[in-house]
Amino acid sequence: MSDASDDFDDYDQGSEFDFEDESFGGSDYGDNEGFEEVKPESTKLKAYEVAHQVLSTADIQQRQDSQISQVASILGLSRESVTVLLLYFKWNNDRLLEQYTEDPEGILNKAGISADDDSKKREYKIKPVDGFMCDICCEDRPGLMTFALECDHRFCYDCYKQYITQKIMDEGESRNIQCPGDSCSLVVNNEGIRLIAEDRVYRRYLTLLNRTFVQDNEHLRWCPAPNCEYAIKCDDVSTKDLKTVVPTVQCACGYRFCFGCGLADHQPCICVLVKKWIKKCEDDSETANWISANTKECPKCMATIEKNGGCNHMTCRKCKYEFCWICIGSWAEHGTSWYNCSRYDEKSGVEARDNQAKSRASLERYLHYYNRYANHEQSAKLDKDLYLRTEKKMTQLQSTSGMSWIEVQYLAQASAVLQQCRQTLKWTYAFAFYLEQNNQTHLFEDNQKDLEMAVEQLSELFEKPIQELAGLKVTVMDKTAYVNNRRQILLEDTAKGLRDGRWWYQVEIK
């Protein structure tokens, strides 16, 4: 599979991963050494996929190195100085080259590099100096080891080490560790740090450097999964595209997430709506449930009212409107026959109920989508359980039916597909909540319905007792393939819709 996204150098990266999940398509992590290459049916990405690569720490290091070499050869500076420059310019080559050609001295100065560094490259050395007294600890015994940068702010080795260690370990600084000398802005570069710092501190320094490299680059993002050390590179997506694509990427650790916002896979819903939805749910859901069950609104000012006792003659605290709790009609029309409230068809009562119905309907609508969303989220939380049970089932199946390990893998596959589909379904409800009703939306809802139905069927199959399950292998496999297919159809259609601007939202998308 060729990789369209590689505008860097042509080193072969990713060869240490043997992760390839062809059933989901599009996960391209390079060659699988030692395995026969699996050729996917089509090298073209589906509409809902984005090209991306997984980078290991070594790859990131390599990329940094190659960028440094590239710039160093253009500018004719030492690698150490170029590193400092690149850090100062947040790894933005173009900006660096442009500004440097305009004012080399000024830029070197600003970035904290001694201007005469490169013409007669100085070697950093830890050495004793005669008659020296350290300005920090005031130690002046002969043979004291000292260190200084080009600025000649010389301190004893111990104090310097202490200073560097504090900067790196306590403050987490890597980009801009300046000379400890008073108001000196010269930066202690990689070479200096390596010379002075202990091993563990230097390692930490390199980790921090790698981190800034990824953080500063808009085409790179760390995988947010716990303990995962990979970064994802995705070139085709920039922030302004996020309204029309959902750039979902998969890390070598298996975690799927959105490159745009870093949240877990939320296809087919776009990032803005995801944020709105999550916020709405945090604010609203339970409260809305309770309101719906326990309150009515004042027909005049729409204040939410909980009736906690007394008769049906209500007087709104807020607007002083008097109404009947039973029919929501104006109290004036009840006269003295208020007790059985026979005024069902009174005009004002009907109108008031209409109004009430409208605001209830919007609540109901939200709850409709929320309940379905929450249901799938709950199911997703049970995924771990499900998977453990699957594993148990597989061992059982192996011992009872005499099937081999490879033959029962279809259950693991089914479980994985089920989990992924629930994740997708969950977000279809958030997406649908914000969609304007039109013919396009009907198509979307049909797709959603089909997927929902297929998922339920597969889920049902999955719960069957173990004896039956053995005989259902082909059925389960068929269903799995079908479900996965439905999911792809839904995602494909939504993604195309996003690209073509086919969806209309009830809220404004900024």
Residue 281's closest CA among 359, 364, 374?
374
- Candidates 167-175, 205-213, 473-481, 485-493; binding stretch for other proteins (CB under 8 A): 167-175
- Give dist(CA 313, CA 350) in Å, integer: 17
Considering only 173, 216, 333, 445, the residue that binds other proteins (CB under 8 A) is 173
> String of b and e for 477-502 (b: at least 16 CB within 10 Å)?
eebbeebbebbbebbbbbbebbeeee
Least distance in Å: CB of 153 to other proteins? 8
Closer to other proteins by Cβ: residue 2 or 183: 183
Q: Is 261 a catalytic residue?
A: no
Binding test (CB under 8 A) with other proteins, winner from 163, 429, 431, 433: 163
Between the alpha carbon of residue 360 and those of residues 92, 331, 355, the distances in Å are 53, 22, 9
Which position among 31, 46, 61, 181 is part of the footprint of other proteins (CB under 8 A)?
181
Q: How buried is 244 (Cβ within 10 angstroms: 0-12 exposed, 13-18 middle, 19+ buried)?
A: middle
> Is 37 one of the binding residues for other proteins (CB under 8 A)?
no
Q: What residues numbered 118-137 form the site for other proteins, per CB under 8 A? A: 135-137
Residue type present at position 489: I
Helix (H) or strand (E) holding 311: none
Q: Which stretch binds other proteins (CB under 8 A): 13-21, 175-183, 188-196, 209-217?
A: 175-183
Is residue 105 a contact residue for other proteins (CB under 8 A)? no
Site of tokens 């449930």: 289
Q: Per CB under 8 A, which of residues 134..153 are in contact with other proteins? A: 135-139
- Edge to edge, the sheet with strand 231-233 lists 53-55, 231-233, 220-222
User: H or E element: which one contains 147?
Assistant: strand 145-147
Count other C-beta atoms under 10 Å from residue 42's C-beta. 9
Please select the residue that binds other proteins; options are 23, 166, 437, 467, rule is CB under 8 A: 166
Q: Is 170 in the site for other proteins (CB under 8 A)?
A: yes
Burial of 12 (0-12, 13-18, 19+ CB in 10 A): exposed
Least distance to other proteins, CB of residue 125, Å: 21
Cβ(333)–Cβ(323) under 8 Å?
no
In the complex with other proteins, which residue's Cβ is closer, 56 or 178?
A: 178
Could you give the C-alpha distances from 13 to 52, 59, 218, in angstroms and in order? 12, 7, 20
Task: Identify which range of 90-98, 121-129, 170-178, 466-474 contacts other proteins by CB under 8 A.
Answer: 170-178
Residues 252-281 that bind other proteins (CB under 8 A): none
Write down the least CB distance from residue 149 to other proteins, Å. Answer: 14
Q: Is 92 in the site for other proteins (CB under 8 A)?
A: no
Tell me the number of residues near other proteins by CB under 8 A. Answer: 17
Among 96, 159, 454, 498, binds other proteins (CB under 8 A): 159
Smallest distance, other proteins to C-beta of residue 84, A? 17
Cα angle vertex 412, ends 409, 416, to 5°? 140
Q: For residues 484 and 424, give the distance between their C-alpha atoms in angstroms, rounded to a whole number.
A: 11
Q: How far is the CB of 98 from other proteins (least distance, A)?
A: 27
Joined together, the tokens standing for residue 427 give: 């977000």
Q: Which of 7, 130, 182, 508 binds other proteins (CB under 8 A)?
A: 182
**Which residue of the set 134, 184, 271, 311 is catalytic?**
311
Q: What is the dihedral of CA 51, 56, 57, 59, to 10 degrees?
A: -70
Nearer to other proteins, 185 or 375 (CB): 185
Q: How far is the CB of 158 from other proteins (least distance, A)?
A: 9
Q: Which two tokens stand for residue 231?
A: 């970064």
Question: Which residue ranges make up the site for other proteins (CB under 8 A)?
Answer: 135-139, 159, 162-163, 166-167, 170-171, 173, 178, 180-182
Give the residue numbers marked as catalytic. 311
